[in-house]
């Protein structure tokens, strides 16, 4: 099996089907894994974490992996996954679409809804996971581009896909702050791919085009403490009633979206090593939340920790990662076996 990109061999030992099922549930979300063919199933993987972005290298034999409706119903998940094929082929099915990935191609899928992955032979791939909030687009909009192949041999694919592969190759060797910056650059490039694909549908739907223009205005004005639905509506010469109707069609509210985007930007800044000396109140105020007590309550209610606890936990994680890499000298932050 030859990878399209030059990766060193994985050092983790292979595990059997029972262990792999436990590993995938622990590291992703609960999944059904069913081997194909008569040969014994085997798999192995490595993992590198940068904040809430995780990069996996995975090798396994032929199988079907399913996130079934029953598994989805067991609990909410915020995880987004990107598959980037290195060798073999992968068939991804979600939201009524099917994407066939050849080596060098990538696709995105959402763990909050059912999906199926099929591998008819031995395969090698990179999987990148991160919270949905990093994408800055409503889930209903994301659903229009899931299970869509982004080929290596496309104008954007020739730039984005190799960058993500390079990120997977080098992430564990970089200082924490550099790894963070590159991981965020990778997600920005991924957003460029997604928005390019979204525009195809948006151009044919004036209502969706207006939604994306409204979302852009909100992003530009997030730092304004006085930002309100009326201000957004006025910027586009529409009524606030019309504004609320456009958002309601995607199952979200204007005020809720503004609050979500502010908290997401603050969360990212709290994990940014280059902003470690910036007071938390300053970070909150730069994104329009100027009342520290109100902000702290919102943050805890959303993420389950106070802003201070969240920042400390992120810092401890980065320090542990750095110490581990220096002590071991490995090129991958991996568990001793496949994923555990």
Which range, of 140-144, 248-252, 331-335, averages the lowest pLDDT?
331-335
Provide the CATH topology of domain 17-201. Answer: Jelly Rolls (2.60.120)
pLDDT at 317: 55
- Can you tell me the distance from the alpha carbon of 224 to that of 13, in angstroms, rounded to the nearest whole number? 52
Please, which residues bridge with residue 53 across strands?
Answer: 50
Asked if the model's pLDDT at residue 132 lies above 60, the reply is yes
Which residues neighbour 58 within 8 Å (Cβ) at sequence distance 6 or greater? 43, 44, 45, 123, 124, 125, 126, 127
Residues 288-327: pLDDT tens digits?
Answer: 999 999 999 999 999 899 999 999 887 755 554 444 344 3
The alpha carbons of the chain give a radius of gyration, in whole angstroms, of 21
- Could you tell me what percent of the chain has a pLDDT over 70? 91
Asked if the model's pLDDT at residue 337 lies above 50, the reply is no
Q: Name the 3-class secondary structure at 282.
A: helix
Asked if the model's pLDDT at residue 8 lies above 90, the reply is no
Q: Say what the alpha-carbon torsion angle 287, 291, 294, 299 is, to the nearest 10 degrees.
A: 30
pLDDT at 325: 40
Residues 188-233: pLDDT tens digits?
Answer: 999 999 988 888 777 778 888 899 899 999 999 999 999 999 999 9
Q: Which tokens belong to 112?
A: 């909050």
Has domain 205-304 been given CATH number 1.10.10.60?
yes
DSSP 155-173: TTHHHHHHHHHHHHHHGGG
Spans of all domains in the chain: 17-201, 205-304
pLDDT at 202: 77
Q: Which tokens belong to 252?
A: 């979200």
pLDDT at 316: 59
- Can you tell me the distance from the alpha carbon of 171 to that of 179, in angstroms, rounded to the nearest whole number? 6
> Averaged over 237-265, what is the pLDDT?
93
Residues 88-110: pLDDT tens digits?
Answer: 999 999 999 999 999 999 999 99
Which residues neighbour 258 within 8 Å (Cβ) at sequence distance 6 or greater? 218, 222, 227
pLDDT at 2: 52
Asked if the model's pLDDT at residue 335 lies above 80, the reply is no
> Averaged over 141-169, what is the pLDDT?
92
Q: Which tokens belong to 32?
A: 């059904």
Average pLDDT in the chain = 87
Q: Which tokens belong to 165?
A: 């592969």
Asked if the model's pLDDT at residue 142 lies above 60, the reply is yes
The backbone region for 147, taken as left when phi is positive above 0, alpha when psi lies in -120 to 50, beta otherwise, is: left
pLDDT at 3: 62
pLDDT at 4: 67
Q: Which position has the higher pLDDT, 326 or 171?
A: 171
Q: Name the 3-class secondary structure at 60.
A: strand
Q: Which tokens belong to 142?
A: 């994301």
Q: Name the 3-class secondary structure at 73.
A: coil
Residues 47-85: pLDDT tens digits?
Answer: 998 888 999 999 999 999 999 999 999 888 889 999 999
> pLDDT category, 333, cuts 50, 70, 90?
very low
- Whether 17-201 shares its CATH topology with 205-304 is answered no
- Can you tell me the distance from the alpha carbon of 39 to that of 37, in angstroms, rounded to the nearest whole number? 6
């Amino acid at each position: 099996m030859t990878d399209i990109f030059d990766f060193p061999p994985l050092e983790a030992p292979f595990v059997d089907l029972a262990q792999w099922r436990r590993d995938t549930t622990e590291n992703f979300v609960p999944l059904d894994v069913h081997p194909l063919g008569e040969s014994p199933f085997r798999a192995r993987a490595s993992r590198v974490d940068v904040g809430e972005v995780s990069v996996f290298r995975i090798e396994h034999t032929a199988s079907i992996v399913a996130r079934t409706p029953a598994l989805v119903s067991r609990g909410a998940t915020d995880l987004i996954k990107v598959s980037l094929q290195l060798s073999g082929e992968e068939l991804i099915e979600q939201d009524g679409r099917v994407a066939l990935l050849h080596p060098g191609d990538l696709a995105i899928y959402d763990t909050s809804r059912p999906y199926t992955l099929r591998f008819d032979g031995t395969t090698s791939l990179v999987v990148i996971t991160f919270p949905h909030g990093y994408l800055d687009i409503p889930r209903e909009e994301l659903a229009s581009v899931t299970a869509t192949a982004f080929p290596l041999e496309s104008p954007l694919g020739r730039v984005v896909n190799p960058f993500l592969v390079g990120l997977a190759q080098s992430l564990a060797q970089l200082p924490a702050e550099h790894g963070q910056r590159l991981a965020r650059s990778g997600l920005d490039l991924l957003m460029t791919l997604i928005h390019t694909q979204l525009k195809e549908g948006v151009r044919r739907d004036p209502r969706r085009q207006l939604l994306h223009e409204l979302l852009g205005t909100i992003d530009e004005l997030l730092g304004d403490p006085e930002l309100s639905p009326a201000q957004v509506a006025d910027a586009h010469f529409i009524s606030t009633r019309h504004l609320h109707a456009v958002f309601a069609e995607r199952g979200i509210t204007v005020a809720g979206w503004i609050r979500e985007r502010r908290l997401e930007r603050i969360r990212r800044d709290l994990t940014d090593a280059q902003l470690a000396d910036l007071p938390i109140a300053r970070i909150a105020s730069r994104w329009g939340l100027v009342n520290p007590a109100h902000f702290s309550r919102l943050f805890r209610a959303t993420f389950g920790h106070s802003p201070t606890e969240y920042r400390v936990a992120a810092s401890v994680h980065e320090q542990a990662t750095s110490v581990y890499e220096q002590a071991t000298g490995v090129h991958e932050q991996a568990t001793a076996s496949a994923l555990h």
